[in-house]
Structure 1
Amino acid sequence: MAKKAKKKETPRVNEELEGFNMNINSFGEISSSFSIDKINEFLNKNVDDKKLRDREERNDKKKKG
């Protein structure tokens, strides 16, 4: 029996990241279709960083007191 060819499906992504691809070459280098700055901007806007929550609150308290 012949094996069925798998269709290469693109994963579902946020609309802002449409067309985003990452590849790892034979040397282990990561290449991306988006710049690191654009990826970081997206993450800063959409992902809550647990480590930074307390820092922002402390800075607000210092300013008030």
Structure 2
Amino acid sequence: MAKKSKKEENPKVNPELDGFKMNIDSFGEISSSFPIDKINEFLNKNVEDKKLKDRDDLDEIKNDKKK
């Protein structure tokens, strides 16, 4: 059987994260093409925190962050 050649295909991602790549070197160090602050900002906007979803004061906390 012939081996299939591996093609580096870019995964489908949100347009805000276009060009995002992560690498893990042989020492386990993670490097990224985006700064961690930009990744965290994206996650805060687009991912619901399961631990905080049942809190009554969540709306107040979100409003305080916007100010």
TM bin, normalised by shorter chain, reads 0.7 to 0.9
What runs of 5+ residues in structure 1 fail to find an aligned partner? 61-65
Q: For structure 1, which segment, 13-22 or 44-53, has the greater mean C-alpha deviation from structure 2 after superposition?
A: 44-53
TM-score (norm 2): 0.76
| Structure having the larger proportion of residues in helix | 1
In the alignment, the residues of structure 2 paired with residue 23 and residue 35 of structure 1 have an alpha-carbon distance, to the nearest angstrom, of: 13
Whichever of the two has the greater Rg, that structure is 1
Q: What is the root-mean-square deviation in Å for CA atoms of aligned residues?
A: 2.0
How many pairs are equivalent? 60
Tell me what 2:52 maps to.
Answer: 52
TM-score (norm 1): 0.78
The residue identity in structure 2 corresponding to 1:42 is F
Higher RCO, 1 vs 2 (CA within 8 Å, ≥6 residues apart): 1
1:34-53 matched pairs, under 5 angstroms: 34-53=34-53
